[in-house]
Amino acid sequence: MIKINILEASSLTKKYGDFTAVNDIDFYVEDREIFGFLGPNGAGKTTTINMLTGLAGITSGSVYLSGVNYTRETKKAQRLMGIVPDESNLYDELDGFENLTFCAALYGMEKRKREERAGRLLQQFGLAEAAKRPFKSYSKGMKRKLTIAAGIIHEPKILFLDEPTTGIDVASARQIRKLILDLNQKGTTIFLTTHYIEEAERLCHRVAFIVDGKIVRIGTIAELMKEVQQETIVQFTLDGDISQLMQAVTDQFPNFTTEILGENMLRIHSTSLIPLMPFMKFFEENNRVVFEAKMIRPSLEEVFVKVTGIELGKMKKEKEKKGAGGKK
Amino acid sequence: MKSWIAFWNILRKDMKNYYLKPPNISWGIIFPFAWTLMFFIRSQSSFDVLSILPGVVSMSILFGTTSMLAVTITFERKSRSFERLLLAPLDLNLLMLAKTTGAIIFGVLNAFIPIVFALFLTDLSVVNWFAALGSILLMAVTSTFLGLFIAVSVSEAFEAQTFSNFFRFPMVFLCGLFIPVPELPFFLRPISYLLPLTYGADILKSSINGSGDILPWLSFLILLCFSVFLFAFSTKNVKKKWIY
């Protein structure tokens, strides 16, 4: 299948006086992919999104969205994108249905079409019963869902989602992640920023890490994982105490490194692939039942920490503090 | 054509959300009503009604438009819903026109409250309605764009009110409504001629009681220039300050 780049940014730079917020970055987003943009506070994520969506001017470089030169034809490019900010910015006094139809009208949609589409989206997002309630009476999760619906009401080619699950409850966050995957499966390309690395790992096809205004790594999740995956690890969970068996394991498999984790868990380390069957056979011969055998993979979090040198806990705390206190 | 769908819906939303809200309707009526009553009680004859009508109409327009627009735009900026409008595929000039048209309509409606009162108190058949309506409309446009200029210059609603008063009160006293401009101290006269209200009030005076000092066509032209300048300056400022 031929992959088409829906968004291409080249040598994108943003300067505020002497300060360079975004420094000569290049990236592309493929059609129908979920592209993650990760970085700590002040790394240049928001500035990049603002440049891509038209809220900030571009100092130098170029952006093409579906073949449209963004710098020359900003308004034409804006017609092709949907934007969901990190804080819901719909109108408190309008109800859910009115908010959606108003947003559709901003894109020039005819009355009948926008009402039809608003009705359908309210159903799809599970908000049909709240359609006639004022937006201010919605819960945070409902607000976020309606803001996403408003972002896609004009059927954009690409949807920019800025921290879609920050500050909302676990159940709503799960629903929103499912909605994101559904939207993507139906053909919407998604540009996602999040500080939840595990969320990016779960949702994104490709990810870029931005630090101090520069993209330090970019690639598919598998490509990024390779950087920290220097050995293969298989973890077995058995019945009974494993310590009595350790000497036999070491004798039987001298080419592998073994490690006991708790009473009944054993990890096998190797620089090459680990065949499972000899181990299964060995445990069976020793009258041990294997409950679980799984491959331990490094997380995207480990990749992020290795590449950026940034403490993730600190980054999360900063974000959550910012989320609780509102956007400064 | 598609842009006009957006224009109409922004205007309709603003009218419904802000201008036609019960507190604003009552404020819009009470404020000119209070001005009208205050002056009319003081006036002794029907001739006095005609002499004070231009002033009351001018103040109703000025205070109605500048207050509402400056507050609504700063409020939307604060709640970030204005960003949604900036991100829409809509020309910035058309967007700002859509945001200001509601205030212009509100200003024109405010102007008619003292006129309705005056209808019951005096004979208005002497009024040149063509010039008066033109002046009301242009004053509403200029005052609205002054409100826009204020909204773009501040970040909080209370700042908008304070900054508005910084312009409005000197304007009321220097525009010739209370003291004719030629009778003002020499050093204040140039300031009067720098205020848009001076020209709007003068057309109204000419059309209602024939006491204007400036040629009406010249006043129209100057008001038009003020409108274009304030709108262009504010739109440029939006681009500079809000599209970072």
pLDDT tens over chain A, length 328 residues: 677 899 999 999 999 989 999 999 999 999 999 999 998 888 899 899 999 998 888 999 999 999 898 888 888 999 999 999 988 889 998 999 999 999 999 999 999 999 999 999 999 999 999 999 999 999 999 999 999 999 999 999 999 999 898 888 888 889 899 999 999 999 999 999 988 888 998 999 999 999 999 999 999 988 888 777 778 889 999 988 888 888 899 999 998 988 888 888 999 988 888 899 999 999 999 989 999 999 887 788 888 888 887 766 666 666 555 554 433 3
A99 in reach of chain B (CB within 8 A): no
Residues 6+ apart with CB under 8 A from A325: none
From residue A308, alpha-carbon distances to A196, A201, A302, B94, B127 in Å are 15, 16, 10, 45, 76
CA distance A238 to chain B (A): 56
Residues of chain B with Cβ-Cβ distance to A79 below 8 Å are 89
Structure tokens at A143: 């607000």
User: Residues A49-96: pLDDT tens digits?
Assistant: 999 998 888 999 999 999 898 888 888 999 999 999 988 889 998 999
Domain with CATH 3.40.50.300 in chain A: 5-80+156-226
**pLDDT, tens digit, for every residue of A263-286?**
889 999 888 888 999 999 999 999
| A115 interfaces chain B, CB cutoff of 8 Å | no
User: What ipTM is given for this predicted complex?
Assistant: 0.86
- Under DSSP, the state recorded for B13 is H
Fold that domain A5-80+156-226 belongs to in CATH = Rossmann fold (3.40.50)
Give the span between the Cα atoms of A209 and A159, in whole angstroms.
Answer: 19
A105 and B85: CB-CB below 8 Å? no
Q: Quote the DSSP letter at residue A130.
A: G
Q: What is the pLDDT of residue A278?
A: 93
- B161-190 average pLDDT score: 85
* Distance, CA of B95 to CA of A214 (rounded, Å): 35
Contact A102 B86 (CB under 8 A): no
Which among A55, A91, A327 has CB closest to B86?
A: A55
Searching chain A, which residue's CA lies closest to the CA of residue B5? A108
Contacts of A83 in chain B (CB under 8 A): 87
Specify the 3-state DSSP secondary structure of A220.
strand
Q: Do B89 and A79 touch (CB under 8 A)?
A: yes
CATH of the domain spanning A232-296, picked from 3.30.70.100, 3.50.4.10, 3.30.1220.10, 3.40.50.1000: 3.30.70.100
Question: What is the pLDDT at residue A315?
Answer: 62
Q: What is the dihedral of CA A124, A127, A128, A129, to 10 degrees?
A: 150
User: Could you give the CA distance from residue A299 to residue A304 in angstroms, rounded to a whole number?
Assistant: 9
Is the pLDDT score of B28 beyond 80? no
Which phi and psi angles does A102 have, rounded to 5°?
-65, -45
DSSP structure string for B175-242: SSSSS-GGGS-GGGHHHHTT-HHHHHHHHHHHHHTS---S-HHHHHHHHHHHHHHHHHHHHHHHHHHH
B3 in contact with chain A, both atoms CB, cutoff 8 A:
yes
> In the prediction, which pLDDT does A325 show?
41
Whether residue B66 is predicted with pLDDT greater than 90 in this model: the reply is no
A and B: number of Cβ contacts within 8 A: 69
Q: Does residue A92 belong to the interface with chain B, where contact is any CB pair within 8 Å?
A: yes
Q: Which of B87, B94, B239 to mutate to test the interface with A (most CBs of A within 10 A)?
A: B87
Q: Which helix (H) or strand (E) holds A265?
A: strand A265-270
Nearest-CA neighbor of A81 among A29, A141, A142? Answer: A29
B:185-244 residues touching chain A, CB 8 A cutoff: 243-244
Asked if B1 reaches chain A (Cβ–Cβ under 8 Å), the answer is yes
pLDDT digits (tens, 9 = 90+) for B81-99: 999 999 999 999 999 999 9
Q: Which two tokens stand for residue A294?
A: 């799984």
Q: Do B13 and A91 touch (CB under 8 A)?
A: yes
- Taking an 8 Å cut-off on Cβ atoms, the answer to whether A90 and B17 are in contact is no
Chain A (150-179) residues lying within 8 Å, Cβ to Cβ, of chain B: none
Closest Cα in chain A, distance from residue B240 (Å): 9
- Nearest-Cα distance to chain B for A80, in Å, is 9
Distances in Å between the alpha carbon of A95 and those of A142, A146, B2, B127?
Answer: 12, 10, 24, 46
